[in-house]
Each structure stands twice: as structure tokens, then as C-alpha cells.
């Protein structure tokens, strides 16, 4: 088999990845895979292991056990190769407030050995990408928090990395600045970047990301499509039923069906929980109609990513 016929490695892959700090086990056998081109949400409470994972992928921390690869490069054995293909933005990063925006980016362009003749265009390109072209001559200290975050993103883009590791990039931003940051990330995905973003703003990740992972106490709870989180983690589909009269009779009928886990009256409606997500909700209407109960409403409860997260995690840290 030729090299050309081999499948391309995923953007990120970890196997039994663990990291200890003395007696504290921050990561516990993490198996994670991120596809190329994903905008991947990494979700967990403070202390769950998100930052530790990102720092290992960025080659700043060595794993205590297991392995991690970025585009097929081992983060320990091929650290220099990994650093050339990633852009890492920590949750808190220092900026040189007395430098101009272009000076700052030119400095980091030189650190990445971008030739002098190319740096001016490279700096202009990344500033345009993050929407800071009109701030090129401004002092960094005069920029708002949101603009400084965008400048930090420009810095990690200066060497055109293929994989971006962003730890809470919207932390501390006002709603408008968060929306602008998320729009930039979507544009970067459209340009072919693979992006891993850790965040507590779960409602935004729900619409921003195509895949997510949920981690707690250093262990992976779920990894997969955003739309699969609810089906995978929630106990069963929930429906709200409204009947014209005879709520007690309706609950009695529903409780006879093996597909129904629970049925209870709440504020004038009946909450019905099915045993799993494969069950046909038509059974709810069927049993009520055949039992002589007048059904006037049947509506599924839509669980957002934030609600599912709160249901399946306990906010526990190591």
C-alpha cells in the first residue's frame, strides 16, 4: 500500500491521555478525536481538564501517560513539527500595551521566521481577517478588551497554522464582541482551519460548532455531533401533553404503556417521558385517543446544549 492510499490522520487524536499533578489526576485516560475542518467545542466545568488537554496539544505540557497527536505528529516526539502547524491562544495572554498593533504582529512574524519582505502583507492580511485593519497604528493599551482578544487571535494566525487551539477566546467579552468573535471563527472554519474552542458559553457553542466533547473530572462523557448530544445523554424524549379534561385518566392510560417511563401533571399539562429516543411518540396520542381522552396538544420539549450539560454533569473538579 502506497502512502497516497493511506487515510489522512485526524486533526487531533488522543489515546488514553492522562496527566497528573502530584496526587491530582487532571486527565484520566482521555480518548478524543477531532476531524479536519471541525469547529469543535470542548465543554466542561472549571477544573474538568480542558485547559490541561489544550496545553498538552500545544506542547506546553507533557502527558503523564498515553499519547496525543496533531495531524499525525506526536506532541512529545515531534514537538517542533506540532508548533509549526498549531496556533494556541490561552485564556489569559499578555500583550505589550506600549507597542503598536502592527509592531506587535511584526514581532511575532519575525519569531516565526517569516521573511521581512512578506511580513507587511501577512500582518495586513491577518488584521483584515480579524477586523482590525483600521487599528493598525493604534497602541495596544488603547484597544478595548474585545479588540485585544481579536489581536490575540491575529497573533496565532500570523504563521497560517492549520489547527487552532482556543481556550475561552470569548472570556470577559460583552455580547457584541462575543458575536463578532464567533463570526470570525466561522470564517476561519470556512477557510479550512480546524478549530478547537473551549468555552462556558454553551448556547453559542450549540449554534457555532459542528461537533462537541463534554469532559468532567478528566474523563470524556460524550464526543460527537452537536445534534447527537441530547439523544446520547438525555434519559429519553420528553413531551408535553394537553387534554381537554380527564388529566387523571390520561396519566393512568399513559402509565400502562411500556414505552412511557413517567407521566405527571405539571401546571395544567402532562409531562410524558419516553423510555428512549427511538420510541415513536405516536404511542402517546394513540393510547389517549383510544382511551377516550380528548387530546388538544402534543409538543416535544427541546433541550438545549446548556440544559443537557447541566443534567449530565455535577460540576465536579479534581
The architecture of the domain spanning 3-231 is: 3-Layer(aba) Sandwich (3.40)
Residue pLDDT, tens place only, 78-131: 999 999 999 999 987 777 889 999 999 999 999 999 999 999 999 999 999 999
Q: What local confidence, expressed as pLDDT, does residue 311 receive?
A: 64
On whether the CB atoms of residues 122 and 114 are closer than 8 A, the answer is: yes
How confident is residue 239, by pLDDT bands cut at 50, 70 and 90? Answer: confident
In DSSP terms, 304 is beta-bridged to none
Does pLDDT of 315 surpass 70? Answer: no
Domains 3-231 and 235-302 share a fold: no
**pTM of the entire predicted model:** 0.79
Distances (CA, A) of 192 to 17, 42, 125, 154: 27, 19, 16, 16
Mean of pLDDT values over 284-302: 86
CA 137 to chain CA centroid, nearest Å: 34
Checking phi first, is residue 68 left (phi over 0); if not, alpha (psi -120 to 50) or beta?
A: beta
In whole angstroms, give the CA distance from residue 311 to residue 318: 19
pLDDT mean across residues, the chain: 88
Q: What local confidence, expressed as pLDDT, does residue 317 receive?
A: 46
Does pLDDT of 66 surpass 60? Answer: yes
Percent pLDDT > 90 in the chain is 54
Residue pLDDT, tens place only, 192-233: 999 999 987 777 788 889 999 989 889 998 898 887 776 666
Q: What local confidence, expressed as pLDDT, does residue 275 receive?
A: 80
CA 245 to chain CA centroid, nearest Å: 45
| CATH number belonging to domain 235-302 | 3.30.70.100
Q: How many CA atoms lie within 13 A of 298 on its CB side?
A: 15
Residue pLDDT, tens place only, 141-188: 999 988 999 999 999 999 999 999 999 888 778 888 888 889 999 999
* Residue ranges per structural domain of the chain: 3-231, 235-302
Percent pLDDT > 70 in the chain is 90
Residue pLDDT, tens place only, 116-139: 999 999 999 999 999 999 999 999
238 CB-near residues (< 8 Å, 6+ apart):
271, 272, 273, 274, 300, 301, 303
Mean of pLDDT values over 305-309: 69
Amino acid at each position: 500500500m502506497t502512502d497516497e492510499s493511506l487515510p489522512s490522520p485526524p486533526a487531533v487524536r488522543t489515546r488514553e491521555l492522562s496527566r497528573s499533578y502530584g496526587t491530582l489526576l487532571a486527565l484520566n485516560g482521555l480518548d478524543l478525536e477531532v476531524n479536519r475542518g471541525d469547529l469543535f467545542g470542548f465543554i466542561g466545568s472549571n477544573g474538568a481538564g480542558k485547559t490541561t488537554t489544550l496545553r498538552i496539544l500545544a506542547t506546553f505540557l507533557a502527558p503523564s501517560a498515553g499519547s496525543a497527536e496533531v495531524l499525525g505528529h506526536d506532541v512529545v516526539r515531534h514537538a517542533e513539527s506540532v508548533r509549526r502547524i498549531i496556533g494556541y491562544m490561552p485564556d489569559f495572554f499578555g500583550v505589550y500595551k506600549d507597542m503598536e498593533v502592527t509592531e506587535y504582529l511584526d514581532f511575532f512574524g519575525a519569531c516565526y521566521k517569516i521573511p521581512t519582505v512578506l511580513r507587511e502583507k501577512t500582518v495586513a492580511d491577518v488584521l483584515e481577517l480579524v477586523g482590525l485593519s483600521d487599528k493598525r497604528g493604534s497602541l495596544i493599551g488603547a484597544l478595548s478588551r474585545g479588540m485585544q482578544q481579536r489581536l490575540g487571535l491575529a497573533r496565532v494566525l500570523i504563521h497560517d497554522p492549520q489547527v487552532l487551539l482556543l481556550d475561552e477566546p470569548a472570556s470577559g467579552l460583552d455580547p457584541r464582541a462575543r458575536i463578532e468573535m464567533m463570526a470570525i471563527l466561522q470564517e476561519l472554519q470556512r477557510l479550512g482551519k480546524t478549530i478547537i474552542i473551549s468555552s462556558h458559553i454553551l448556547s453559542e457553542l450549540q449554534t457555532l460548532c459542528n461537533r462537541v466533547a463534554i469532559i468532567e473530572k478528566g474523563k470524556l462523557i460524550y464526543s460527537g455531533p452537536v445534534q447527537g448530544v441530547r439523544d446520547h445523554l438525555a434519559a429519553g424524549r420528553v413531551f408535553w401533553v394537553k387534554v381537554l379534561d380527564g388529566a387523571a385518566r390520561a396519566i393512568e392510560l399513559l402509565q400502562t404503556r411500556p414505552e412511557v417511563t413517567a407521566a405527571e401533571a405539571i401546571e395544567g399539562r402532562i409531562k410524558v417521558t419516553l423510555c428512549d429516543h427511538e420510541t415513536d411518540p405516536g404511542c402517546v396520542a394513540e393510547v389517549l385517543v383510544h382511551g377516550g381522552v380528548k387530546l388538544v396538544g402534543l409538543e416535544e420539549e427541546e433541550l438545549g446544549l446548556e440544559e443537557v450539560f447541566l443534567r449530565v454533569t455535577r460540576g465536579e473538579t479534581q
